[in-house]
Structure formats: C-alpha cells, structure tokens
Amino acid sequence: MADTAAQATGPILVLNGPNLNMLGTRQPEIYGADTLDDVVALCERTAKRYGREVVAFQSNHEGALIDRIHEARGVVSAIVINPGGLTHTSVALRDALVIPEVPIVEVHISNVHAREEFRHHSFVSPIATAVIAGLGIKGYAAAIEYLLGD
C-alpha cells in the first residue's frame, strides 16, 4: 500500500514523454513557443501558491518514464503527465501509472481530439482522475490547481 502521508503532502510528479523536450521549436503552430523549461517553471509557481512542490521529469524513453513512476510510489501526492505519443501506444505506461496509487491528471497541450484520428485514443485517460487538452501549457497549471485546490 502507498504511504498515505506522502500522498497528502508529497510533491506532485510532473512527467513529460517523448519529444516534449523540443517544445518551443517543434511545430510551434500546434504546440506554441513555450519551452519545457517554461512548463516546469509554470508548474513550480502554481504549486508554490499552495505551499507545495513539484518534481519534473522528461524522457524520450518509455522505460525511463516507467522507472520514474515506480520510484514515485509512496513518495508523491499526485502525477501530472503529458505522455506525448505514448498516450496512444503504451499499455506498459498505463499499467505503471496505477502503481503509485495517487490521482493522475493527463495533460495535452493541443486539442488531440481535433487532430489526426490516431490521437483520439488514449491508454491513459481511462485511469486518469481528469484529462485536460487544448489549453496550451496552461493545462499544466490547471491540473495542479485541480489537484491542490479547495
């Protein structure tokens, strides 16, 4: 069983999947001009307003993301995840996300439902507490506010 004290006060793990390290340069017409550093700074500012912290991690490798999720068990209070392209392909990532036994908010910068058909399916959404899509990087702040708000 996960540590309930950590769940109540632990940091929020902000995970970003493949290609999100290229924010600001990769297809700015879809993803905007903000960088991954901007995303992390926004998450830190938002959590700080609630007296909380975030721990951010990005990888282009599915196994590294899964390992980081395993390490989160009993340590973090929630997970905010933008799985990138793994959203639509990774059962393994989905299975790992239930291991920490904490709320999960899935975030997408673009409105994936207004894009290509293959982006309409998510393996993460059925296990997520909430899903936010199409708000740009503000979706990350909305996720943290949802998790920490009254």
Catalytic residue status for 113? no
Query: Are 120 and 104 spatial neighbours (Cβ–Cβ below 8 Å)?
Result: no
Query: How many helices and strands, by DSSP H and E, does the chain display?
Result: 6, 5
| Both structure tokens of 65 | 């993301």
From 108, 121, 140, 146, active-site residue: 108
C-alpha–C-alpha distance, residues 90 and 100, integer Å: 17
- Number of residues assigned to the chain: 150
Beta-strand runs (E) in 1-149? 12-16, 54-58, 78-82, 104-108, 130-133
From 31, 70, 140, 146, active-site residue: 31
Catalytic residue status for 31? yes
Which residues are annotated as catalytic?
31, 108
